[in-house]
Structures are given as C-alpha cells and as structure tokens.
A and B are shown apart, each in its own frame.
Chain A
C-alpha cells in the first residue's frame, strides 16, 4: 500500500520533470541602423518564443507590425514599403541549439543556434551566436547578430535623402519560463 502511494507520488513528480518546454515571459527584440539624419531603431516586446530544453529545439515568431519606432511615419513606411507587412506579416526562426547544455544547472553558457530565418518571405540558413543563462525556473536568452537587407530582398530605394545602411544590427533579450498549456 505504502509502495503504491509512493509510486503514485513519484509518477506525478516524473510528470512534472518531463515539462521541458519553455516559453516567452518577457521579450525584447530591437534593431538599429546608423543614419546621418535620424538613426533608425525599433523595438518589439511581443515576441513568441518556444524552446524544448531536452532537444535544444527553438521556435521564434514575431509580427512585423509590433515593431515600434520613435518616428511613426518611419514605422508606417517600414510596414508599407520595406517589409511589406500585409504580404509578409511575420518573421520566424526555427533552429536548434548546437551545444549540449545542462538546463538543471544554473549558469551562463555561450551557444550557437543553427536554423532557418524567415524574413520578408525569404528563408535563409543562419548560425547565430547567443548566450543561455539558466536561473531557478527561468532561462534567459540573449543574442546579437546582423541582417543584410539584400539577403531578404528588402529593397532600399534609390531616391532617399536619408541613406539607409545595407546591414542592420539586431539584438534579442528574452526571458523564458516553463510552458503552461492553456
């Protein structure tokens, strides 16, 4: 009888231990480009992230219209002409962490993530650097990389008074918590 109760309790615990999915709690993805007249920068705090800690698989999805610019006219042009958000509403990344990380041990681990980056309807294989920081019940993911606009067929108009850089830098800071199924 006692054994059964213990087994039952253990089975419940085992169930908990198998919750290997982590999902976004707070996120921040921003990009920046130096420009002579007015720097171009935008920030998106509504990034969807899911990570499977047992396999290292990671999926990221964001709505382009959630990027907020200090200059709203620029934001409108970003969506209307550069990213064509009506046609290509989201950007996604589907990849795998290459290193084996013990997600039960707190600490900071440099990682590389290999996968497919889909932006403006153009898919590109990328290997991106990042850092995984494991804390009690939380995982922090940070990553900085650059995106060449030409790689994703994002046109820079010839007729602009404001010269736009061909490569922009992107920065991600995401906090993940165990996934709760609704």
Chain B
C-alpha cells in the first residue's frame, strides 16, 4: 500500500516536473548544437584551383566540370606597333573535372609547343576547426606534359619519351583569415630532353603564393616560382628565369575571372617553371610582362536538386 502511494506520488510528480521544465526552457535552447562536436572544414582558401599560373590547394567540386580558357598576350614592351602585345597571344584550353570533393583530374592543350597536359590533384589534408583541428591544407599534384609537334613544326625527337615532362608538387596552404591565405609549393620537374646542356633535366623548385582579399569579391594574388642554385645554368648562362605573377581574382556570381601580369608566356608547370625566358617569357625588369587571364565556365554533371521550388 505504502509502495503504491509513493508510486502514485512519483507518477504524479514526474510529468508535472518535466512539463514545467519544458515550459520554462526556451524552445530555442532545444535546438542548440554543441559546435565543438562538429568539424568545420575551411572553405575557399583560394577562389580558384590556380593561384595564377600554378595550382592552389583547391580542387574542382564533385561532379563539376570546368571548361577553362586561358590566354597570355605578348610582352607589353613590344610597343605600340604590336599594340603592346595584344596582337598575339598563347592559349590553353582545358577540361577539368572533380571526381569527388577531394580528387580531380584535368586535361589541357597549350598552343606553346602544341603541348597536351594531363594532371591529377588529391586533397590529402583539409584545414578544419571544431571537433577535428587541422592547421593546414595539403594537396598533392602530378602532371604529364607532352610536346606533340611534328618535325616540320620544330618537334624533332629521337624517341617518343623525349616529348614527356613530368611534374610533382605538394601544395601546402593555410587560410589565416577571411582575407589572407598563403601557400608554399615544393616542386620537382623532370624533363626527359632539354635543349640547353647547362640546364639540369630534373629541376627542384619552390613556389610561394598567396591572396589578399581587397573586397568581398576581389582579391589580389601573387605567386613566385624560383629554381634555386645553378640548375638553369650560371648567372651568365641562364636564358630561363624565375616566374613572378601578380593579378586579381574577380568573382562574378558563380564564376571567377583571373586577370594578371606575369613574365612567363606559358601556363603549365613545364613552361612557367622551366621555360620562362627566351622565346616564352622574359624578365620583369626588362618590361617582358605578359597580360593574361584565366576564365572558367562550370557545369554541374551530378544530380540536380529534387524538390526545390520552381
């Protein structure tokens, strides 16, 4: 009997207490999520998959295809008779595709030396905060460039593999704030055949680059690739130089335009790391500056939204 009475009391109290507690709780409190339990990945370290010439840690989004058109006009110091270089330009057309959000592949064709390039990029580490904290983003990059010129076009090679140039990079970046992101890119470039005997077949280079957002939609980018030591010959021998580029990213609602000035005429690693100078570029101090742009149109090849209102 006593037990039953206490049961009754408890039975009456439990719902009374809990109902009161619920009524007093702010409804909004029931919706709060402990943000330290969630991992937030840093988005948009860079606006595009290239800082300028070289690749950034970003990859094309899953199932998205970018059609990329890039131009570099001739040198500004060609003067008014060549319309400051605008009369002539080199071109790269590319198709670049995100297999998933961490893996992408691409293929391109450059007008310089009629070169086809194939590349892959994998995000190894993504900067994050919250439950799992990662201070840096790291992306691996690998590419193969093939010179497809025929002998009459200047492409005389003893064997097919002489046409190949390989490149491997580790892209390491951190978004320090909304506005500032910096990247360092250790690079190895191997050329099976070189024209100049004083150059090394295998070049070890380092790229440094970054962006600073001037406004929400415009950022100032800069990028410098240097090849230390005498890998490209002694100071007096050198005909190829380090590549420096400065430009702007302009976001135009779903698209990013990249406009820039650079001393390299080429747009792939083989060209801007190993061939800036001579026929394909020059030196900033001599006014060998090429104006150029990258622009991409993005297509979603993945599933569309189901029930979004029309």
Interchain CB contact under 8 A, A72 and B61: yes
B14 contacts which of A7, A15, A57, A89 (Cβ < 8 Å)?
Answer: A15
Query: Which listed residue, B15, B43, B178, touches A11 by the CB 8 Å rule?
Result: B15
Are B28 and A73 neighbours in the complex by a CB distance under 8 Å? no
Q: Which residue of A lies closest to B21 (CB)?
A: A181
B253 touches A11 (CB 8 A): no
Could you tell me if A50 and B30 are in contact, using CB atoms closer than 8 angstroms?
yes
Cβ of B286 within 8 Å of any chain A Cβ, yes or no, is no
A-contact 0/1 string along B4-18, CB 8 Å cutoff: 110110011011101
A32/B308 contact (C-beta < 8 A), A8-B7, A8-B8, A52-B27 known: yes
Across-interface contacts of B197 in A (CB, < 8 A): none
Chain B residues with CB under 8 A of A107: none
Contact A1 B43 (CB under 8 A): no
CB–CB A8/B31 < 8 A: no
On chain A, the residues within 8 Å of B252 by CB distance are: 159-162
In the assembled complex, the CB of A48 is this many whole angstroms from the nearest CB of chain B, namely 4
Which chain B residues border A42 with CB–CB below 8 Å? Answer: 305, 308
The reply to whether A11 and B18 form a contact with Cβ atoms under 8 Å apart is: no
Set A30, A32, A94, A157: member contacting B217, Cβ < 8 A = A157
Q: Which 6 A-B pairs have the closest CB atoms?
A: A15-B15, A72-B61, A59-B27, A48-B31, A160-B253, A162-B253
Smallest Cβ-Cβ distance to B26: which chain A residue: A59
Majority secondary structure, A binding face:
mixed
Contact of A74 among B18, B43, B217, B254 (CB under 8 A): B254
A interface list, Cβ under 8 A from B: 1, 4-5, 7-8, 11-12, 14-16, 18-21, 23, 28, 30-32, 37-38, 41-43, 48-52, 57-61, 65, 68-74, 76-77, 79-81, 86, 89, 92, 94, 144, 155, 157, 159-162, 164, 169, 171, 179, 181
CA distance A62 to B22 in the complex (A): 21
Q: Which of A5, A23, A73, A80 contacts B61 (CB 8 A)?
A: A73
CB of B43 within 8 A of CB of A80, answer: yes
Instruction: Determine the distance from Cα of A20 to Cα of B252 in the docked complex, in whole angstroms.
Output: 48
Does any Cβ of A come within 8 Å of B251's Cβ?
Answer: yes
Whether A12 pairs with B11 at a CB distance below 8 angstroms is yes
Instruction: Judge whether B304 and A8 touch: CB under 8 Å.
Output: no
- 5 A-B contacts, Cβ less than 8 Å apart? A8-B7, A15-B15, A43-B308, A48-B30, A70-B304
Q: Which of A7, A52, A61, A73 contacts B31 (CB 8 A)?
A: A61
CB atoms of B309 and A41 under 8 A apart: yes
Question: Chain B: how many interface residues by the 8 Å CB criterion?
Answer: 47
Across-interface contacts of A94 in B (CB, < 8 A) = 27-28
Known contacts A15-B14, A71-B300, A94-B28; A43/B307 CB under 8 A: yes
A155 CA to B22 CA in the complex, in Å?
Answer: 39
Q: Across the two chains, which residue of chain A brings its CB closest to B299?
A: A71
A181 touches B18 (CB 8 A): yes
Task: Say if the beta carbon of B298 comes within 8 Å of chain A.
Answer: yes
Contacts of A74 in B (CB 8 A): 253-254
Contact among A18, A60, A76, A179 for B15, CB-based, below 8 A: A18
> Known pairs A15-B15, A94-B27. 19 more at Cβ < 8 A?
A11-B12, A15-B11, A19-B19, A20-B19, A23-B30, A30-B307, A42-B308, A43-B305, A43-B306, A52-B22, A52-B23, A71-B298, A72-B64, A74-B254, A76-B61, A80-B44, A157-B251, A159-B252, A160-B253
C-alpha spacing A49/B64, complex, angstroms = 33
Task: Tell me which of B11, B16, B217, B298 contacts A81 (CB under 8 A).
Answer: B217
Contact A50 B31, beta carbon cutoff 8 Å? yes
Q: List chain A residues, Cβ under 8 A from B133.
A: none
Q: Closest Cβ of chain B: how far from A87's Cβ, in Å?
A: 8
How far apart are the CA atoms of A81 and B305 in the complex, in Å? 22
Interface residues of B in 177-208 (CB under 8 A from A): 178
